[in-house]
């Protein structure tokens, strides 16, 4: 009987493992489960290429064409290790021979700024779509977070073509301060 591989997570780690498994065990059945509405994609595009005219299609990691079964919008709720079975949030169960947990990270919300409109806790392609939808001429945005993602967004979004008027961006943290102040100054 073919090996059944279940991979939990729709990020790069899970996508890369899925492709590698298809090569290492062509007869195996590989199922990737992701709680995101989108199949796996390259997360770095969310703070770089997509704000500079990049195409969403080029951000996608095509694992389905290599024979991987992709389940989007599904969250693993429980794992029965002895019974080798994963339970999804809709009640479906997946039996496995090998299980990979690649559940990655999530954006940390602040108690004073819960991730509900108009606040976006930026991590996923769905978050990009929301932020992009709200961007445009005359719009202003505030970036909270001084890491790489916050700095890249602050530096990149004002160059977004629809943003004809100066945008105001602020970040906390030492790393991007120079870059972001420069962005604000140059509008
Ligand atoms: C905007 C942005 C830009 C970035 N740019 C860069 C860059 O330029 N260079 C770089 O090296 N790194 C970059 N990173 C970081 C890089 O994307 C991460 O290191 C990488 O995403 C980690 O991959 P991962 O597969 O381990 O986890 P993640 O990408 O976090 O994926 C985890 C996946 O698991 C899913 N998941 C979680 N729990 C469950 C569950 N119970 N059931 C089903 N699915 C579940 C999530 O929905 C998600 O799809 C960036 C990150 C972001 C957010």
- Same domain flag for 97 and 174: no
Q: How far is the CA of 169 from the centre of ligand 1 (A)?
A: 24
Query: What SS3 class is residue 105?
Result: coil
Q: How far is CA 62 from CA 6, 39, 68, in A?
A: 17, 8, 9
pLDDT reported for residue 161: 47
Residue after which a domain boundary falls, among 101, 120, 149: 101
Q: How far is the CA of 173 from the centre of ligand 1 (A)?
A: 22
71, 86, 103, 121, best to mutate for ligand 1 pocket (most atoms within 8 Å of CB): 103
Checking if the pLDDT of 146 tops 60, the result is: yes
For the beta sheet containing 93-95, the strands, ordered from the edge strand earlier in sequence to the opposite edge, are 76-80, 85-88, 93-95
Closest ligand 1 atom number to CA of residue 12: 25
Closest residue by Cα to residue 76 from 49, 47, 101: 101
- Same domain flag for 82 and 33: yes
Checking if the pLDDT of 166 tops 90, the result is: no
Checking if the pLDDT of 169 tops 70, the result is: no
- Same domain flag for 149 and 91: no
Is residue 121 one of the residues assigned to a domain?
no
Whether residue 125 contacts residue 46, with contact meaning beta carbons closer than 8 Å, is answered with yes
- Same domain flag for 141 and 91: no
Is residue 126 one of the residues assigned to a domain?
no
Checking if the pLDDT of 183 tops 60, the result is: no
- Same domain flag for 90 and 12: yes
Regarding predicted confidence, which is higher, 49 or 147?
49
The whole-chain average pLDDT of the chain stands at 85
pLDDT reported for residue 148: 84
Q: How far is the CA of 147 from the centre of ligand 1 (A)?
A: 15
Measured in whole angstroms, how far is the alpha carbon of residue 83 from the centre of its chain?
Answer: 31
Is residue 15 one of the residues assigned to a domain?
yes
- Same domain flag for 82 and 25: yes
Does residue 8 have its Cβ closer than 6 Å to ligand 1? yes
Count of domains for the chain? 2
Checking if the pLDDT of 51 tops 80, the result is: yes
pLDDT reported for residue 157: 59
CB burial of 30-55 (b: ≥16 within 10 Å; e: otherwise) equals bbbbbbbebbbbbbebbbbbbbeeee
Does residue 150 have its Cβ closer than 6 Å to ligand 1? no
- Same domain flag for 33 and 76: yes
Does residue 11 have its Cβ closer than 6 Å to ligand 1? yes
- 30's tokens: 């590989």
Place of tokens 């951000």: 59
Checking if the pLDDT of 131 tops 60, the result is: yes
For the beta sheet containing 69-71, the strands, ordered from the edge strand earlier in sequence to the opposite edge, are 69-71, 29-33, 4-8, 98-101
Q: Which of 32-36, 134-138, 169-173 has the lowest mean pLDDT?
A: 169-173
Q: Tell me the pLDDT tens digit for each residue of 72-126.
A: 999 999 999 999 999 999 999 999 999 999 999 999 888 888 888 889 999 999 9
Place of tokens 């899970």: 14
Checking if the pLDDT of 168 tops 50, the result is: no
Domain that holds residue 11: 4-101
Q: Which of 22-36, 49-63, 118-132, 147-161 has the lowest mean pLDDT?
A: 147-161
Checking if the pLDDT of 154 tops 60, the result is: yes
Place of tokens 């021979």: 97
């Amino acid at each position: 009987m073919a090996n059944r591989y279940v991979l939990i997570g729709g990020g790069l780690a899970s996508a890369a493992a899925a492709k590698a498994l298809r090569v290492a065990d062509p007869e195996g059945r590989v199922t990737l489960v992701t709680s995101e509405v989108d199949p796996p994609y390259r997360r770095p595009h969310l703070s770089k290429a997509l704000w500079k005219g990049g195409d969403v299609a080029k951000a996608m990691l095509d694992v389905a064409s290599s024979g991987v079964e992709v389940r989007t919008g599904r969250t693993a709720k429980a794992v029965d290790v002895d019974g080798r079975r994963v339970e999804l949030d809709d009640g479906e169960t997946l039996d496995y021979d090998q299980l990979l947990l690649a559940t990655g990270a999530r954006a940390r919300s602040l108690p004073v700024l819960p991730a509900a409109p108009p606040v976006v806790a930026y991590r996923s392609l769905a978050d990009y779509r929301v932020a992009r939808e709200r961007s445009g001429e005359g719009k202003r945005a505030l970036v909270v977070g001084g890491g790489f993602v916050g700095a890249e967004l602050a530096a990149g979004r004002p160059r977004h073509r629809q943003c004809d008027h100066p945008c105001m961006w602020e970040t906390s943290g030492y790393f991007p301060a120079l870059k972001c102040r420069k962005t604000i100054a140059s509008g």
